[in-house]
Amino acid sequence: MDFAEFYEQSRDGCLRAVYASVNDRQVAEELVSEAFARAFASWRKVSRHPAPEAWIVRTSLNTGVSRWRRRRREVRWDGQEPSGGDPGESLIDASLRDALRALPVRQREVIALRIFLDLDTQATADALGIAPGTVRAHLHRATAALRERLVSSNERETAR
């Protein structure tokens, strides 16, 4: 498969997976674009990766962490937080997005790779650099928390 074909087939799924983890569509788009640019530059290596989509998502998340580390050392001169709504509203259902935001980062990453990209446990473990048992534990905890939150919010909506 050539890079253009891979990009067309994988972009939306990778974007959803990264968005589920970072909770900001604009940031997710920037991170995924950066990861695809890096993949293009190293396409011979990336194309042989057992799960190139996982490589894109992991590279995106690693880039996000690196940016966060650099930014936390920066000082804002105006003392104000950036304003504006979340442009990622349409990527994921609002109730699911809110439930995902409540999860710890590692659980969101596991959900993004296992559910949104449909990777198996081993590929997810390899992408995140953790043991397969840890992936299963995070997935179990995350799905239980999501189920509890979504069912209880659905019950509240039904009671109205």
Model confidence pLDDT, tens digit, residues 40-65? 999 999 999 988 999 999 999 888 87
Q: Give domain status of residue 87, yes or no.
A: no
Evaluate whether residue 84 is within a structural domain.
no
pLDDT for 73:
60
Q: Is residue 105 part of a domain?
A: yes
The pair phi, psi for residue 87, each rounded to 5°, is -75, 0
DSSP string computed for 54-119: HHHHHHHHHHHHHHHHHHHTS--SS--------TTTTTS-HHHHHHHHTS-HHHHHHHIIIIIS--
CATH number of the domain where residue 45 is located: 1.10.10.10
Backbone angle region of 60, left / alpha / beta, with phi > 0 → left and psi within -120 to 50 → alpha? alpha
- Provide mean pLDDT across the span 140-160: 80
Residues 6 or more apart whose Cβ sits within 8 Å of residue 75? none
| Residues 102/153, Cβ–Cβ less than 8 Å | no
Residue 97 covered by a domain: yes
Number of domains within the chain: 1
Asked if residue 118 belongs to a domain, the reply is yes
Q: Per-residue pLDDT for 127 more than 90?
A: no
pLDDT for 94? 79
Average pLDDT, the chain: 83
**Please, which residues have CB within 8 angstroms of residue 92's CB and are 6 or more apart in sequence?**
16, 19, 20, 100
pLDDT at 77: 53
pLDDT tens digits, 74-117: 555 555 544 445 444 556 777 888 888 889 989 998 988 888 88
Question: Could you tell me what percent of the chain has a pLDDT over 90?
Answer: 44
Q: Which pLDDT band holds residue 153 (cuts at 50, 70, 90)?
A: low
Look at 3-7, 34-38, 113-117 and tell me which has the smallest mean pLDDT.
113-117
Tell me, yes or no, whether 109 lies in a domain.
yes
Residue-range definition of the domain harbouring residue 112: 3-74+92-159
Q: Whole-angstrom Cα distance, residue 96 to residue 59?
A: 24
Does the residue 141 lie in any domain? yes
Q: Is residue 10 part of a domain?
A: yes
> What does the DSSP 8-state code read for residue 134?
H
